[in-house]
Structure 1
Amino acid sequence: MIKINLLLLLSICSLVCFGQHKNHTQQLDSIFATLHAQHQFNGSVLIAEKGKVILEKGYGYSNERTKALNTAQTIFELASCSKQFTATAIVLLKREGKLDYKDPISKYLPELGFWNKVTIADLLRHTSGLPEFLADMDNNQDSTKIATNADVIRFYAQRKDTLRFEPGSRHRYCNTNYVLLASIVERLSGKPFAGFLQQRIFKPLHMDHTFIYNRKQRPRTIKNIATGYAWATGSFRKISSDQRESGDYFVRTVDGVTGTAKVNSTVGDIYKWITALKNNTFLTKSEFEEMTAVTQTSSGQDIAYGFGFMLSKGANRFSFGHNGSWDGFATLIFHNMLKDRTVIILQNFKMGAFPYNNIVQVLEDSPQEMEFHKKITLPAATLQQYTGVYQTADTSAGAEAHSITYLDGHLIYNTTRNTWDMRFYPISETKFQGIRQASNDSYLQFTPMENGDLKLELLQGGKVIDSGIRKK
């Protein structure tokens, strides 16, 4: 009798757990389906908890021309989520005794000897004070050529820029750090960076759909590869960064640069990677602990960035991961060690949202506080009544008036001097939510005034950050 009751109890528990997972899957799927329908999501998702995959699905097109669909097998550019693999390559070389984290980078990159105070650890944790190559080369790079890591090194070897701050004194995210790390890997291993990652990381972990891909420099036909998209200005037409009207054409001129981006992968392969990290089956426990250690600047401020990982660490919390945006792709990879929860979101749409808080609320069965409201349908005439120029109350030099136009059921925000091309959709007759990358909340609120004027307020984080008046 006891055995029968125990089996019955286990069966009931299994059915309850199955029901919970099924309910969570439906809720999560509903969130992403709604976001996709509202132009806020286009990509693939994998969400897992305690070793069980709860949602693994694609939404929208991987290729707008062929209408190929995003699936769990679609391959995406990881953007800055690539940095964790660059950092791991350094860890592997450290394991072999080929470098030390305290080594000055001038030991391996003598051309940059004027930065002799910068160490490998500074590059890994973004405490180097190096200038940002994306900003510097955007203004100086020949747009007819595609730059590589060697070009970045030559660029700074000629300029001999001074550091932005004393190494170790501050933390400032800088892509140049990881470009130099990739070059150090090449020089110490004697292998191309792409080949090193393939041989030492991707192949051993059976990440069969993960590789570095310079899609502009060396284009080739790859099955299931996604194309990254942005909106053409003033339109809902999606275009790739190859097209100058995208505003992102610079990504083409630095497509040969690796270390900071350019790893491509699927949600399934990334899950293999996270599983290996959390279980210490690829890196040792001590190596992983060093990668995810919260260190301090020379002034004692915590650095919540390890080796290629953003960190959330403290009493009763430990999460690691990264996000990224590049070449029409937006990515998020995060793992909560205490909850054993993995969230992988890979998108081939520049303005894609990451509903991370809603995901957590679903999995923890807590009340939903909607990050992204559902769009309501309003007549075009109702929306068009808000168009026009709103003069700001700011009288300081350089203050800009706000410009509101209408486009296909949305309001478009610009200023009279700058083209922001921000799209807002209606969530009520007087309030509109912005379509922005990640989960940055932005709202437009309109209020009729007694004298017939119309007041516009721009809200972010629940606070009014600017306002304007349109005269009647």
Structure 2
Amino acid sequence: MIFIKKANILQILLLLLVLSSCKQKKILEIDTDLKTPIATPIVIQQGPKLTPAYIESKKNSIIYFYNKNWPNKSANGGFLVAKNGQIIYEKYEGLANYKEKSAMTSTTPLHIASVSKVITATAILKLVSVKKLYLEQKVTTILKEFPYPDVTIRTLLTHRSGMRNYAYFTEKKGIWDRHKILSNQDILTIMATKDIDLEFRTNSRFSYCNTNYAMLALIIEKVTGLEYKDAMKEIVFKPLGMTNTYVFDYEKDKLTAVPSYKRNFAKVNLDYLDAIYGDKNIYSTPRDLLKFDNGRNSAAYLDQKLLQEAYVGYSNEHRGTKNYGLGIRMINWPTGKNFYFHNGWWHGNTASYVTLPEEKVTIIALSNKYDKRIYKVRKLAALFGDYPFHLEDNEKEE
């Protein structure tokens, strides 16, 4: 009799354990893309192996372009051109830290400024793909104090929300004490409590605005339950093997991150806007951004139907070739040829990210010493496809 009772108790405990295990498994299935540590990166299938003859033919033209724009070793950063995930040419020159005279290397993480927006947008698309978000979702359903009822995830991504730039409205008297470091949450609270009205009606036109991506970072935190820096590790950096990439943490990294400089190597000091993330504050390398580009354009990592929505221009109020997708700039020529890129500038940091999905080409240029020549690397697209850029001209770059 005692044996039977013990057996029954064991069966009940076993049943409870199974039910608990099933419940736990269900939770893990929901959260696996966000919180479960990723031991190995996703394997990205590269294109066909490039022949030595092909590499040499492109490499010579790239070297000529590089030396023409950065003669006498005048560059200070990293540069990379790749096709099918294979590096054709890369170069690292100058000083990562002028005071310490430390050399720039392939593993030196530099501030990529607004190229961070492409990565933030990609994290949002991943969350959409696992049904944590949807593009037409109202921001007010996620951030309860958000004061603009018509703004959606899509209008944040496409800079069509109508919100004002936090760098400008926080300068006004009585809005913010600029002796205090501003946070993403501070921006949201200010907009909710200081009567910061929209610049224009939501989705009526395009206006490039960093506030959009500061809010997207808060949304990532809200739906994952992780800080942005940790969420980006789990959603993007770890899966794609971006081992030298991180989100700048103001208190933790302000003394150790690679500094930025003016043209004469005068150091640019941090200010009250340097803790904002989502629109900027990702540090990375050309090689890691190549891994990112390979992953972003691969079905192994991101739903390609969803990615195609990113490569559509959403601002068509005025006739023209320039447009903006979901976190990516573009040029759409009447010939039907499309060019996708994003530039960045913050303090002395300049960055350019070019992705040519049709040709499977990636072009990256980063510098921590102010250098607008970085933006000229777009012209190298002409080596790989029918892009109307001219390697020899001296046109003014944006």
Normalised by the length of structure 1, the TM-score is 0.66
Contact 1:24/1:54 (8 A) holds in 2: no
Render the CA deviation track for 1:130-162: whole Å, top value 9, x for unaligned.
Answer: 011011113443233211111111111121222
Alignment partner, residue 380 of structure 2: 359
The verdict on how the C-alpha distance between 1:110 and 1:64 changes in structure 2, with shifts beyond 3 A counting, is same
Render the CA deviation track for 1:307-341: whole Å, top value 9, x for unaligned.
Answer: 11112345442332211101320000011223332
Equivalent position SS for 1:85? helix
Contact 2:129/2:303 (8 A) holds in 1: no
Contact 1:328/1:348 (8 A) holds in 2: yes
Query: Which one of the candidate residues 260, 283, 287 is aligned to 1:228?
Result: 260
Contact 1:168/1:297 (8 A) holds in 2: no
Render the CA deviation track for 1:59-115: whole Å, top value 9, x for unaligned.
Answer: 2111111111212221111111101121122222222323222122111222123x1
Alignment partner, residue 112 of structure 1: 146
Rounded to whole Å, the distance in 1 between the matches of 2:95 and 2:187 is 34
Rounded to whole Å, the distance in 1 between the matches of 2:317 and 2:394 is 37
The Cα of 1:358 is off from its aligned counterpart by 4.9
Q: Larger deviation: 17-26 or 164-173?
A: 17-26
The verdict on how the C-alpha distance between 1:175 and 1:220 changes in structure 2, with shifts beyond 3 A counting, is closer
**Greater RCO structure (CA 8 Å; 6+ sep):** 2
Query: Which one of the candidate residues 14, 17, 20 is aligned to 2:57?
Result: 20
Alignment partner, residue 333 of structure 1: 353
Alignment partner, residue 141 of structure 1: 176
Normalised by the length of structure 2, the TM-score is 0.78
Contact 1:310/1:322 (8 A) holds in 2: yes
The Cα of 1:261 is off from its aligned counterpart by 0.6
Rounded to whole Å, the distance in 1 between the matches of 2:391 and 2:132 is 50
Matches within 5 A, 1:391-470: 439=397
Structure 2, unaligned runs of 5 or more: 1-49
User: Which amino acid in structure 2 is aligned with residue 17 of structure 1?
Assistant: Y
Between Structure 1 and Structure 2, the one with more helix by share is: 2
Alignment partner, residue 98 of structure 1: 132
Rounded to whole Å, the distance in 1 between the matches of 2:211 and 2:311 is 21
User: Which amino acid in structure 1 is aligned with residue 67 of structure 2?
Assistant: S
Equivalenced residues, count: 343
Rounded to whole Å, the distance in 1 between the matches of 2:237 and 2:331 is 26
Are 2:220 and 1:193 equivalent residues in the alignment?
no
Equivalent position SS for 2:342? strand
Render the CA deviation track for 1:407-466: whole Å, top value 9, x for unaligned.
Answer: xxxxxxxxxxxxxxxxxxxxxxxxxxxxxxx825xxxxxxxxxxxxxxxxxxxxxxxxxx
Contact 2:261/2:267 (8 A) holds in 1: yes
The Cα of 1:24 is off from its aligned counterpart by 2.7
Matches within 5 A, 1:28-47: 28-34=65-71, 36-37=73-74, 41-47=75-81
Are 2:337 and 1:317 equivalent residues in the alignment?
yes
The verdict on how the C-alpha distance between 1:62 and 1:195 changes in structure 2, with shifts beyond 3 A counting, is same
User: Which amino acid in structure 1 is aligned with residue 111 of structure 2?
Assistant: E
Q: Larger deviation: 135-144 or 267-276?
A: 135-144
Rounded to whole Å, the distance in 2 between the matches of 1:324 and 1:310 is 11
Are 2:394 and 1:371 equivalent residues in the alignment?
yes
Alignment partner, residue 9 of structure 2: none
Contact 2:78/2:90 (8 A) holds in 1: yes
Contact 1:212/1:262 (8 A) holds in 2: yes
Rounded to whole Å, the distance in 2 between the matches of 1:19 and 1:101 is 44
Paired-residue identity, %: 25
Render the CA deviation track for 1:256-315: whole Å, top value 9, x for unaligned.
Answer: 211111111110000011112223321011121112222355799998211111123454
User: Which amino acid in structure 2 is aligned with residue 60 of structure 1?
Assistant: G
Query: Which one of the candidate residues 230, 244, 247 is aligned to 1:209?
Result: 244
Alignment partner, residue 392 of structure 1: none
The Cα of 1:371 is off from its aligned counterpart by 2.4
Render the CA deviation track for 1:189-225: whole Å, top value 9, x for unaligned.
Answer: 11111110101111011111111013x4323676xx5
Alignment partner, residue 124 of structure 1: 157
Contact 2:355/2:363 (8 A) holds in 1: yes
Contact 1:42/1:352 (8 A) holds in 2: no
Between Structure 1 and Structure 2, the one with more strand by share is: 1
Alignment partner, residue 362 of structure 2: 342
Q: State the Cα RMSD in Å.
A: 2.8
Are 2:202 and 1:167 equivalent residues in the alignment?
yes
Alignment partner, residue 7 of structure 2: none
Render the CA deviation track for 1:333-389: whole Å, top value 9, x for unaligned.
Answer: 0112233321100110123412225534566899752428xxxxxxxxxxxxxxxxx
Contact 2:237/2:243 (8 A) holds in 1: yes
Contact 2:315/2:324 (8 A) holds in 1: no
